Amino acid sequence: MRAMHSKDAIGLPFMKMHGLGNDFVIVDAREQAAAITPALAKGIGHRQFGVGFDQLAVIEQGEADAHLVFYNADGSTSAACGNATRCIARFLMQEMGKDALTLTTERGTLLARDAGDGLTSVNMGQPQLDWHEIPLAEAMDTLELPIEGAPTATGMGNPHCTFFVENAEAITLAEFGARHEYHPLYPERTNVQVAQVIGPDHIRMRVWERGVGITLASGSSSCATAVAAARRGLTRRKVQIDLDGGTIWIDWREDGVWMTGPTAHVFSGTLTPEFLRTLG
């Protein structure tokens, strides 16, 4: 699939993928660069006037098997997107005939592998636990923030704020997530999770993604929640996380946080030159 640079050519080919309902538009720009701007990403991301997505990911040539760039639905960028990385890894492994590969992102170098039974694993790297890495606005203990509910802050290449609650279903996530995304302790905004510990290796979690809103799943949020739960002694380092869109498995090892789950390539299409011109 070729991603065309010129809006006056044949348009912009893309793939629609999802991991547990966390959905993505994927543009393959390895053969010809695609001029993705924040305005273009926001337009494509509109669920009525565009295609709709939680994130847009661009596959570029890189020093490894590929380099990935991520955009949120509001046109802002993100250094990491775990489920999109898994979707792309599955696509590239099938294309290249490999069962493992290496991807680069702004987050760093990520290893991916075929986990069998249709599952794909990605090592999202070590979590960022110091306040300045996440980042927070000032020095503090990241285990329990001075916010009502004492959430835990974690960086996975993007910032996270995890609240441990008795009943994740009882939280009005639309209001709760929107309020905390812009908390002054998070200068770059934050992803928000509400997590209910079911057992030492089992968590129920719901997600509000910065720049997106409520999502059915989030890979980096799942990693951050697993890390936060382990740090607080609520679970072991290997857990099953049940999200609104399905189940993912997180394993915080010495070499990083491994995330394993299913992916789906739903369809491929082409954005028309006429549509692209309306977005400048």
CA–CA separation, 16 and 173 (whole Å): 26
Tell me which residue of 5, 18, 10, 70 sits closest to 41, measured CA to CA: 70
Establish whether the linkage from the previous residue to 135 is cis, with ω within 30° of 0: yes
If asked whether residues 111 and 180 sit together in one domain, one would say: no
Given this model, what pLDDT does residue 3 score? 40
Q: What percent of the chain has pLDDT over 70?
A: 96
Find the mean pLDDT for residues 11-20: 96
What is the mean predicted confidence (pLDDT) over 238-244?
A: 98
Predicted pLDDT of residue 98: 97
Q: Does position 5 have pLDDT exceeding 90, yes or no?
A: no
DSSP lists the bridge partners of residue 200 as none
Integer CA distances (angstroms), 89 to 81, 82, 187, in order: 12, 10, 31
Neighbours of 232 (CB within 10 A): 15
Q: Provide, rounded to the nearest whole percent, the portion of the chain with pLDDT above 90.
A: 90
> Tell me, what's the pLDDT at 80?
85
- Domain check: are 245 and 273 in the same one? no
pLDDT score, position 35: 87
**By the 8 A CB rule, do 251 and 237 touch?**
yes
Q: Do 103 and 172 share a structural domain?
A: no
pLDDT number for residue 7: 43
Structural domain that includes position 181: 152-254
CATH code at 239?
3.10.310.10
pLDDT band for 1, please (50, 70, 90 cuts): very low
pLDDT of residue 4: 41
- Predicted pLDDT of residue 280: 67
Is the pLDDT at 209 greater than 80? The verdict is yes
> Average pLDDT of 179-207?
98
Mean pLDDT value across the chain: 94
Query: What is the rounded CA–CA span in Å between residue 231 and residue 152?
Result: 9
Residue in 229, 233, 232 with CA at minimum distance from that of residue 241: 229
> Three-state SS for 267?
strand
Is residue 211 domain-shared with residue 246, that is, in the same domain? yes
Per-residue model confidence (pLDDT) at position 79: 87
Q: What is the pLDDT of residue 2?
A: 38
Same domain, 250 and 267: no
Domains in the chain: how many in total? 2
Q: Is the pLDDT of residue 6 over 60?
A: no
pLDDT number for residue 33: 83
Region 173-198: mean pLDDT is 98
Residue 130 resides in a domain: no
Q: Is residue 141 part of a domain?
A: no
Q: Is residue 51 domain-shared with residue 23, that is, in the same domain?
A: yes
Q: Which has more pLDDT, 35 or 153?
A: 153
Report yes or no on 81 lying in a domain: yes
100 and 160 share one domain? no
Question: For residue 37, how many C-alpha atoms fall within 13 Å in the half-sphere facing its CB?
Answer: 9
**Region 234-262 average pLDDT:** 98
Q: What is the pLDDT of residue 227?
A: 98
DSSP state of 65: S
Residue 2 lies in a domain: no
Q: Is residue 96 part of a domain?
A: yes
The answer to whether position 105 is within a domain reads yes
pLDDT at 192 over 70: yes
Does residue 20 sit in the same domain as residue 116?
yes
Burial of 240 (0-12, 13-18, 19+ CB in 10 A): middle
* DSSP per residue, 198-266: EETTEEEEEEEETTTEEES--HHHHHHHHHHHHHTTSS-SEEEEEETTEEEEEEEETTEEEEEEE-EEE
Render pLDDT for 79-114 as a digit per residue (tens, 0 to 9): 889 999 999 999 999 999 999 999 999 989 999 999
- What is the rounded distance in angstroms from the CA atom of residue 20 to the CA atom of residue 147? 30
DSSP one-letter code for 177? H
Residue 191 belongs to what H/E stretch? strand 191-199
Specify whether the CB–CB gap between 181 and 218 falls below 8 A. no
What crossing angle do the helices spanning 219-231 and 82-96 adopt, rounded to 10°? Answer: 120
pLDDT band, very low/low/confident/very high, at 9 (cuts 50, 70, 90): low
pLDDT for residue 73: 92
| Domain assignment of residue 221, yes or no | yes
Pairwise CA distance, residues 105 & 94, whole Å: 20
Mean pLDDT of 237-255: 98
Residues 171 and 235 in one domain: yes
Q: Is residue 52 part of a domain?
A: yes
Strand, helix or coil for residue 276: helix
Do 161 and 145 touch, CB atoms closer than 8 A? yes
Identify each DSSP E strand in 22-96 by its residue range: 22-28, 55-60, 66-72, 77-78
As a whole number, mean pLDDT of residues 63-68 equals: 95
92 and 33 in a common domain: yes
